Amino acid sequence: MAKENETSSLTPLRATRFAVSSIVLCAVFLPPGPGFAQSTQSSISSGTSRYSSASSSQSYSGSSNAQQSFPAGNGAVDDSDIANPSNDELISGIPSNSGQQAGTSTTAGATNQDPSDETTGSILDEEIRRLNTREPAVDDRRAPRKLEETLSAQETAGIHVGTFVLRPSVTQSINTETTKDGSTKETRAFLETDAYATLTSDWALHQLLITSQGTWQQNISGSGEEQPAFDIDGDLRLDLHDDTVAHIKGGYRFYREDTDDPDAIADAEQQSDVQEFSAGASVERDFGILRGTAALDLTRTIYSDAVLSNGTRVSLSDRNQTSGTLRTRVGYELSPALIPFIEASIGTTVYDETRDSAGFARSGDSYGVIAGVEIDLGEKLKGEVGLGYETATFDDSRLDSIDTATVDANLLWSPLRGTDVRFDLSTSIQPSTTAGQSGYISHVLTTAITHQLRANLQATVLGGVTLRDYPSGGSSDETVYTASGGLTWNINRYLDFTSTLGYELTTRDVGADSQQWRAGVGLKLKR
C-alpha cells in the first residue's frame, strides 16, 4: 500500500489562500439579487444509454464498459475501475469515470443525467471506473432536446456565453479515510475540491458538448496518498442529410494509478501518474428499418515514473501504448421499442517499446462480436443487453491468448416516480505487467439507486462487484466489493449540502485482503 513520507498540512499561507478562494467562488457562483430561487422538485432526466464496444486504454478488446460514479463527495475508486466510475468520483462529490464515465450518452443534450451522473460521486478510489468506462452506443442518434424540456427544478439556467450555455459547479468537502491492508493500517483526513462543468451549444443544427471535471485533494492529518484527477471530453454531432449523423470526439484524462490496481508498483510512495489522450469519429445512418454504424476510436496512454519510499524512481515507460478500435453495428427495427443488433470490432495495441522491462512483447490484436437487443419502453425502461465473444492475441509466443464469452447490459429502470435504478454489467480483457502473464478477464456488476425522499432531498445507494480472473494462473484472482450511500439536500437552486459514506473490500485468493472506509460532508455551489 502506498504511503506518504510526510503528512501534508494546511500552512497559514495555504489557509489564507483557501479562504480567499472560497470568497471568490461564492462571488462567482452565487446568483445576483437578494435571494435564491428555492428548489421545488427534483428529477433526473435520462437519455437512452446504449452499449458500445469501444476499447479503453487499458483494454485490448472492444468490449463496452460502463463508467460508474458514487455518491456526492468524490474521489476515485479507480484511478484506475468504480469508477467508470466512476470516473473514476470519490466520496466527496464529483460526477463520474471514471469520467463521461458514467454511462450516459452525451449526444442528447447537456442536461440529461442518470443516477450515476453529476448528481452523485464515486467512493474510494475509482478501481471500477478506469477499467469499466463505457462510451455511448455507436448508433445512439437521438435528436437534441430543447433547453426548457431538459431543465429540472434543481438545475440552474446556466451562464450564456455567445451561442453556448455553461453550467459549472464546485464542491468543497472534508473527508476521513481509513485503509487497512493486511496488518498495515492508515488513517487520514483531507480536504477535497471537485469541479465540474458542461458547455453546450444552442444551435438550430448540429451540437457541440464539452464536459470537464477535476479533483484536488489536500491531506490535513494522518498519511495516505492523495488522488488528483482531471477529465475533459468533447463531442461534436453533425446532422447530415439523408438520415445521417456523424460524431467527432476528443478527450484528455489524467489520474494517479490506484495502489490496489493489479499493475501498481508494490510499496511505492507515489504511484504513476497516467495521461490518456483519445480521439474518435463515427457515422450513423438509417436505411428504413435497418440502422448502420461505423466508428473508429484511438487512445494514447502515457505513464510517469513511480516513486519508492526511499526516493528511487521506477520508470514505467515500457507501458506507454497506442490503441485503436474499429467497430461496426447493424440493427433491425422490429419496433421503436425493440431493436435487435449485431456488432463486430477489431482492435490493435502497439507499445512504444517492443519488449517491456521483463522482456515480453505485449503488443497485440483483439477481436470481438456481440449480438443483443436495444430496449426503449419510454421513461420506465431503457437500455440494452448483449451476449458475445472476445479474444486477445499477443506478439510474444510466450503469452497465451485470452478468450472469453461476454455478457454486457446497461439498463435504466424507473419503477415509480422519483426513483431510478441503474444496472450495468460488463466483461472486458485487461492487460497485465506481470512477467509471463497475458492479462486478466474483468467482470463488473454495478447498481445505482436514487430516490427522491422530498422535493429537495435525494438519497443515493450504490454497490458493485468486480471479479478479476487470471485464466492462465500464476497470479491471484481478486474480487472487489464496493458499497456507498449518500444524501443530497438542495438548499436552493444554487447550493447543495452533500454527505456520503463508502466502503470497499478487496479479497484475494493468495495474499492479504484490504479494505477501506471513507466518509465526508461538503457544500456544492452551482450556476
| pLDDT tens digits, 319-377 | 999 999 999 999 999 998 999 999 999 999 999 999 998 899 999 999 999 999 999 99
At residue 154, the pLDDT reads 53
At residue 56, the pLDDT reads 36
The Cα-based distances of 299 to 6, 202, 253, 395 in angstroms read 35, 29, 11, 20
Per-residue burial over 252-278, b = 16 or more CB atoms within 10 Å of its CB, e = otherwise: bbbbbbbbbbbbbbeebbbbbbbbbeb
Identify the DSSP state of 453: E
Tell me the β-bridge partners of 338: 335, 375
Q: Which of 254, 270, 235, 267 is nearest to 130 (CA)?
A: 254
CATH top-level class of 12-526: mainly beta
Domain ranges of the chain: 12-526
Contact 175, 194 (CB under 8 A): no
Q: Which residue has the higher pLDDT, 270 or 302?
A: 302
Q: Which of 51, 50, 89, 49 is nearest to 69 (CA)?
A: 89
User: Which residue in this structure is represented by grid cell 490518456?
Assistant: 276
Identify the DSSP state of 353: S
Q: For strands 273-287 and 290-303, give the pairing.
A: antiparallel
At residue 100, the pLDDT reads 35
Interval 485-490 mean pLDDT: 96
Contact 265, 258 (CB under 8 A): no
Q: Which residue has the higher pLDDT, 185 or 73?
A: 185
The Cα-based distances of 405 to 156, 353, 357 in angstroms read 44, 31, 31
Would the pLDDT of 43 be above 70? Answer: no
At residue 249, the pLDDT reads 97
Interval 441-449 mean pLDDT: 96
The grid coordinates of residue 211 equal 464536459
CA distance 512 to 29: 46
CA distance 87 to 75: 9
User: Which residue in this structure is represented by grid cell 496518498?
Assistant: 225
Contact 166, 159 (CB under 8 A): yes
Give the helix/strand (H/E) hosting 231. strand 229-240
The grid coordinates of residue 286 equal 438509417
Share of the chain above pLDDT 90, in %: 56
Mean pLDDT score of the chain, rounded to an integer? 77
Residue 234 DSSP SS3: strand
Strand extents, DSSP E, 119-163: 159-161
CA distance 123 to 89: 6
